Chain A
Amino acid sequence: DGGITQSPKYLFRKEGQNVTLSCEQNLNHDAMYWYRQDPGQGLRLIYYSQIVNDFQKGDIAEGYSVSREKKESFPLTVTSAQKNPTAFYLCASSIRGDKHYEQYFGPGTRLTVT
């Protein structure tokens, strides 16, 4: 089955620790994205990548880092510099280009930092 996987579903960390969230897709999509969602709110874009070895900051990139070494993988690191890291994190992917497309979302990782 084609799709996007995120692991783990739930993640718990102590304050001050960096944590890396996994996102893998087998849809052969060039573009991948990371969003953050807080309770009762819409999604906000953290980082996106339109091609391997290239990525751009979204609206709330501070305290986060990403890498895109492989087409199918786009891991997100939540660093200790992120002031409010507890949130629901969603990864998405899409085809790349100047056309209509839909973004396919993974099931999300719920991160709790205490």
Chain B
Amino acid sequence: DAKTTQPPSMDCAEGRAANLPCNHSTISGNEYVYWYRQIHSQGPQYIIHGLKNNETNEMASLIITEDRKSSTLILPHATLRDTAVYYCIVRVAQGAQKLVFGQGTRLTINP
């Protein structure tokens, strides 16, 4: 599975959009981008995934660049409850169902 690079920490004001970047320059054609988040001392929570098209669900939007070497997770109206560590993971959709978690981005939403 391809390696990802994320900034270690970010801050965002409550009510504003939080944009979390992820670089995955070695991504292969059959690898998807997944995002999970982990609120302090809890288990991670799935947010969204995508291959090459932009995706949106009730939690967030995922923007993947045309060359697929980077992506951005967007939380449109961040709340204090969005404070968490966000993990960007790249993996194939089939085969061993292993998620490789890096250190992620610690997002702090400020009032």
Contact B96 A98 (CB under 8 A): no
Q: Taking CB as reference atom, which chain B residue is nearest A102?
A: B46
Asked whether A42 and B104 contact (CB < 8 A) given A90-B44, A105-B45, the answer is yes
Contact A98 B94 (CB under 8 A): yes
Q: How large is the interface on B (under 10, 10 to 19, 20 to 34, 35 or more residues)?
A: 20 to 34
**Cβ-defined partner of A90 (8 Å) among B43, B93, B94, B97:** B43
Least CB distance from A23 to B in Å reads 11
Contact B103 A31 (CB under 8 A): no
* Interface locus among A12-20, A43-51, A65-73, A75-83: A43-51
Contact B87 A42 (CB under 8 A): yes
Contact B97 A50 (CB under 8 A): yes
Q: Which residues of A contact B (CB under 8 A)?
A: 4, 31, 33, 35, 40-45, 48, 50, 56, 58, 88, 90, 92, 94, 96-108, 110
Q: Which residues of B contact A (CB under 8 A)?
A: 32, 41-46, 49, 87, 93-104
